[in-house]
Structure 1
Amino acid sequence: MKNKVFKIFGIVLLVIGISMVGYGIHNKVKTNNKQKEMIENFESALNHIKDSNNETTKENKKQEDKKEEEIPLTDDVIAIMEIPKIKLQVAVKEGTEMDILNYAVGHFKNTAMPGKKGNFAVAGHRNYTTGEFFLNVHKLTDKDEIKVRTHENTYIYIVSGMEVVNEDALEVLNPTEDATITLVTCTEDGKQRLIVRGKLKE
């Protein structure tokens, strides 16, 4: 009787384990598909803008202005971030709500926009199932590049430092005099925040 109970208990644990792995894989695939779709939509809109700009003349400017209004929406994606050191390419969306961070990197509202003076601050998860985009940012060192591509330009930031702060240290979002970038993510134990800072390359 006792052996039968242990056997049933073992089977239950096995089923739970398989279910958890399956759930994790499902979420990871879903996240990857959403990222791919966001990046493709961004690239499509960018190509549309470039084509429109190349064709614009004084005579057809009014028509082109109308076409500009028809550019497809890009799911609130404001930029594509690329970090060569850790082989990362990820869409950056406006906002840091959980439904955004599960599938993209989020831009803190009321902080600077890419390439502008001030603190361009973004947040990203680093877990293995959803939003693992900042999983390897701890591997960055001074002088590594962080590229941020918008519809207007590509901006290159140079990593200038890294620190660990308490989760309520909101001062990391404070404005800066120069054009800077701040990456915000959790430490491995999730109890604190890992901060990576960079300065816009002149």
Structure 2
Amino acid sequence: PAPGLAYAVLRIPRLGVTAPVAEGTGKAAVLDKGYVGHYRHTAQPGEAGNAALAGHRNTHGEPFRHLDLLRPGDTVVVDTAAARYTYVVRRILPRTAPGDGTVLAAVPHSAVHPAYRFTAPAAYLTLTTCTPAYTSTYRLVVWGVLRSTQSR
């Protein structure tokens, strides 16, 4: 997808969230427009690897305002022109350092909190936002695993 352009819709039923997904995570071009941003150089939704998305928790539409309310077993859906991808939340890392970049790895894990890790290749979805609310001190990370794909 072209940088800054919406190409998918993220749905989080438990939270009542429906938000457009755009390529990139730049504030001015993507996040500050209320979009959820796709981290470049991570897998696209439905692909093997880790499709990683970022969103504001406060301000600019705050699509991830209540991300901390997700629980293992909840579903997260990504709709694209090609298919609907349904992920099941498997792990939640309530707080890590902003520089904990391994949470975006193809097989995601936390370099800061080693107990939070996956060990096998799969189709993962990672959602990241700032925490606690109204700060950017840490990052909250939610990981899901692809459960189903529905072609359009």
Q: TM-score range by the shorter chain?
A: 0.7 to 0.9
Higher helix proportion: 1
2:97 counterpart (151, 154, 166)? 166
Q: Secondary structure at the match of 2:103?
A: helix
Q: Secondary structure at the match of 2:76?
A: strand
* Of 154-163 and 182-191, the range deviating more from structure 2: 182-191
Amino-acid identity (%): 37
The whole-number CA distance in structure 1 between the counterparts of 2:69 and 2:50 is 22
> Shift of residue 95 of structure 1?
0.3
The whole-number CA distance in structure 2 between the counterparts of 1:151 and 1:96 is 21
> Shift of residue 131 of structure 1?
3.5
1:39-188 aligned within 5 A: 76-99=5-28, 100-103=30-33, 104-127=35-58, 129-163=59-93, 164-176=95-107, 177-188=121-132
TM-score, normalisation: structure 1: 0.61
Greater relative contact order, per chain length (Cα 8 Å cut-off, separation 6+): 2
The whole-number CA distance in structure 2 between the counterparts of 1:126 and 1:183 is 11
- Report the aligned-residue RMSD: 1.4
1:171 alignment partner AA: T
| Moved beyond 6 Å, runs of 4+ | none
Contact 1:82 1:90 in 2 (8 A): yes
- Aligned residues, how many? 128
1:190 counterpart (111, 136, 140)? 136
1:86 alignment partner AA: L
Q: What is the match of residue 146 of structure 2?
A: 200
Q: Secondary structure at the match of 1:201?
A: strand
The whole-number CA distance in structure 2 between the counterparts of 1:142 and 1:175 is 20
1:124 alignment partner AA: G
> Shift of residue 152 of structure 1?
0.3
> Shift of residue 172 of structure 1?
0.7
> Shift of residue 77 of structure 1?
1.3
The whole-number CA distance in structure 1 between the counterparts of 2:78 and 2:136 is 26
Q: Which is greater in Rg?
A: 1
